[in-house]
Amino acid sequence: LNGQFHFIRFETRHMKNAMNLMRINNFHKNIKEIGATGGGAHKYANEWERDLGIGMAKQDEMDSLVAGMQFVMSDIAGECYTFKPNDWTADTKQPNEGQSSVVNGSVSNAFPYLLVSIGTGVSILRVDGPRQHERVSGSTIGGGTYWGLCRLLTGSDSFSDVLNLAMKGDPSKVDMMVGDIYGKDSNALEKIGLPSDVVASSFGKLVAKQNPSEGIKEEDLARALLLMVTNNIGQVAHLNAQLHETSRIYFVGTFLQHNTISQQRLAHAIDYWSNGNMEALFLEHEGYFGALGSFLLHHGIEH
């Protein structure tokens, strides 16, 4: 494209600040129309036209997502990565930062695949080729669920703050584990086929406590909640991959930015539930594919 892309992200509640950024830097004087997608392309279109003189050329949200993703997978080396079994750690330990494995480009752009976009909610698409995709499922339990509940349960002011908090948490203080139910009876554990450190019930340990908050830190709540939301997304993704016979599952979206805990958990879950027959894949520029794709489609550039 003979140029560079610079990405800026912000919560939609700060749209006024984004518009001020455009105005202060005089971007609006050189732009008459931009490719835009998502609900904001409709909700804020009149405001942008009135205050900045910029029209929004609305692009289909899923077309934009797939177009942006295909562009980076085809043109940017090292964009796609995964976590192998020796890269992840147990739920109660720190993620092995920097231990991801790059996926070869010839594999990373092969069709068909399942695309799981985790933003405020979750959208799941089966992708068979450029402009050949279908929304097959989704979930209301996504990044918005996690961040909303964290705002109630912790004093964190930003999503990055709550992720840093979760890094220090111990979910076993909150979650009921299989070992809490069966104890250390190895025969019983062998019979049910589950190790003692597997979560039996998210937040279940608090039920039996007379004072649920006693001894519980904010970081424990943040970590347990992160794993609860992530495990649910992973299970829904795995079941859809089974149903639609796709062995590659790409997880993208702003929820995963700087979120190694969820990435490792998803990789572990997909590998475990599929007996190693499916793979969870991630991309370096997750969260920006819709914006990138809407730009490309607006200018008639497709891969």
What's the whole-number mean pLDDT along residues 22-42?
90
Backbone angles phi, psi at 175, to 5 degrees: -80, 145
- Tell me, rounded to whole angstroms, the distance of Cα 169 from its chain centroid: 20
Lowest mean pLDDT among 130-139, 190-199, 254-263, 291-300: 190-199
pLDDT 10s digits, 123-155: 999 999 877 899 999 999 999 999 999 999 999
pLDDT 10s digits, 258-287: 999 999 999 999 998 999 999 999 998 888
**Annotated active-site positions, please?**
61
pLDDT 10s digits, 60-96: 988 999 999 989 888 888 889 999 876 555 453 444 5
The Cα–Cα gap between 187 and 266 comes to 29
Nearest residue to 84 via CA among 270, 214, 293: 270
Q: Which pTM value belongs to this model?
A: 0.85
DSSP 71-85: HHHHHSTT-EEE--T
Band (170; pLDDT cuts 50, 70, 90): very high
Domain boundaries, the chain: 1-60+288-303, 77-168+219-284, 175-215
- Homologous superfamily in CATH for domain 77-168+219-284: ATPase, nucleotide binding domain (3.30.420.40)
Report the relative pairing of strands 279-283 and 248-252 from DSSP bridges: parallel
What is the share, in percent, of the chain residues with pLDDT greater than 90? 62
Band (105; pLDDT cuts 50, 70, 90): low
Band (99; pLDDT cuts 50, 70, 90): low
Give me 19's structure tokens.
């518009």
Nearest residue to 165 via CA among 203, 217, 128: 217
What's the whole-number mean pLDDT along residues 229-253?
96
Nearest residue to 238 via CA among 283, 268, 200, 199: 268
